[in-house]
Amino acid sequence: MVNFKTLFLFLIVSVFISCSIDSDLPDNQLGAFSISFEPPATLENARVKGNTLNKVTHLVITIKHMDGRDTEYSLTKIAVNLVEGAFLSEEILLPLGTYQITTLYLVDSEDNILFASPHNDAPLAQNVETSLPITDISVSDSTEIINGEVISTDGHGPDDFGMDSFKGKFKEVFYFYVAILGENNGETYLPGQIEVVNGKYSHQQEIDSLNQKVNLEPGHDQYTVKIESDNYHPFEDTFSYDSLSSYVSTPLIIELELLDPCVGGTYVGDVVLNTQEEVDNFGSKCYKKIEGHLKIGAYLIENLTSITNLESLDSLVEVTGSLKIEFNKSLKSLKGLNNLSSVGGILTISGNEILESLSELKITKAKLLAINNNNALTNFDGLQGLRSLYSAEVRGNQNLMNFKGLENLKIVESSLNITKNKNLISFEGLANLEELGGLNLMNNNSLVSLSGFENSISSLNHLYLLGNSSLSDLKGMLSEDGTINNTVRIDNNPSLESLAGLRFHHDITFNFELTDNSSLTDISAMSDINTIGRDLIISNNEKLSNLTGLENLFSVGNLYGSESDYILTIVNNESLTNFCPLSYLFQNGILYKQNIKLNGYNPTVLQMKENECSP
């Protein structure tokens, strides 16, 4: 850590303003430039107060030729003005050539030095990238940028800047040395912060080593010294001027008392833990409850130390908000969360590449569950405590084979969304699930059947079966009297031959869609349906030859008894020739619009009413 870290540094950028040529002096052409000063109050950890900055009136500069010869600029005062948030000096005119700056500082109207650039052999030179002299300054038609820095003189003397022989007006200072020791920390000195105050006067700086020099403004009988260091109790005491002045040959050593890191109780607010160090530091506080959200993971931020374990979080019992464990590429186990029982919001475990198991979890309460993209996970062992959820999402877990671990789950109020789990073969573990708002099965390429439900579902609001390339058997999900009630969409399941195993309520509230099921031949499971509130779509089922199962269909598109744009669509089923099961609908039922074309047979409305329902 660099000494005087709290000093204010700011960049001196040379700004080329103009270049004028005196036509009467062909052998002595002049170049003009100004120096711009960025306000130090805009920089991180700025210690300079705005009123100090506003006191700057002039720049004092000495410019020499590169061989050391003097120019007309020798401790020359040049006015500076505030222009669009930066200080800009008046023009400096010199004959074209190469120069060096050997003195550079800013003063107020009384010539007090407020900011100065240190010489390269001065103590403060280590705090700047460019110290004096600044050399090889080219004054020409294309003046190069001058990089330099100045430092606040607050609390410093001329010797700190390498200006011992200079008679400039610095504020008078005195100094003492200080060091911090930690309780039970041996001879290792601690970093920290010191503040010395007296009335309106205040001085702050970082402490990072033994014999840290502290420069102060004299003129007070006593000073209050405040010292802080992470994980230690703060120190505060009052010292006389004479007492502080005595700590020159040996430092004032302050020993701090170690804080008890284990706080316990409730942490109020959201917690984000991106690194292992942050996990361990928070865990050391022993909180039992987080009244807010907890996020554990790097969240795709590069160059962060990977989280490898959560063992320090073993005191945690409850998170009132959501818990997200995401993007931990080195996390293999959830050991440490074994006492966590309640999550008030979403439990998300996602993107943990080598996480093999959830077995360490003992969670009994969560509102929503999201288990996504954990490629080493094979089941849900560890979630046995869950009995109800509002909804659940299981997506992209490449080695997930079943749902073992969810044996006690009885209710999923909204929907169970299962997507792109390429090795999922069974719903084993869900045999006790009775109430399910909706089931969305999408792109699970190894799933052959709905086995594992054990005919447990008594009611289903909607069913989406989309893109499950191996799914051929729909038996085993619904209980003996279980039905699907509101929306059905069965799309792009190339191995599905029959809807057998499904049962539908006599009033399907919304849409019913059967599309792109290239092996489908049997839809007789639809025989209980009397009404479909919105659209009925049967399209691109190339082997479907008849509509047996629709004999009792009486109404399509008559949701809540009002006419609308809902439509009966039967399109591009190349083997379909028998429309007779729809005779009741066309002859006695309610149907506003229809689109029947590109099938093996395409009867008109009139043909259907006259029983010409097949060729």
Answer yes or no: are the C-beta atoms of 414 and 440 closer than 8 Å. no
Burial 299-316 (b: 16+ CB within 10 A, else e): eeeeeeeebebbbbbbbb
Distance between CA 118 and CA 132 in Å, rounded?
6
State the pLDDT at residue 302: 59
What's the mean per-residue pLDDT of the chain? 87
Structure tokens at 187: 């001879």
Report pLDDT for 25.
35
What is the pLDDT, as a whole number, of residue 160?
A: 80
One-letter amino acid for residue 472 of the chain: S
For 558-614, how does the pLDDT look when each residue is reduced to its tens digit (9 = 90+)?
887 766 789 999 999 999 999 999 999 999 999 999 999 999 999 999 999 999 999
Whole-structure pTM value? 0.62
Give the chain's residues under pLDDT 50. Answer: 1-27, 40-50
Q: What is the phi/psi pair of residue 293, to 5°?
A: -95, 150
Q: Specify the pLDDT at position 571.
A: 98
Q: How far, CA to CA in Å, does 422 sit from each of 159, 172, 296?
A: 73, 76, 27
What is the DSSP pairing of strand 391-395 with strand 416-419? parallel
Q: Provide the pLDDT for residue 37.
A: 66
What the block records as the tokens of 235 is 């120190």
With a CB cutoff of 8 Å and minimum separation 6, the contacts of 49 are: 41
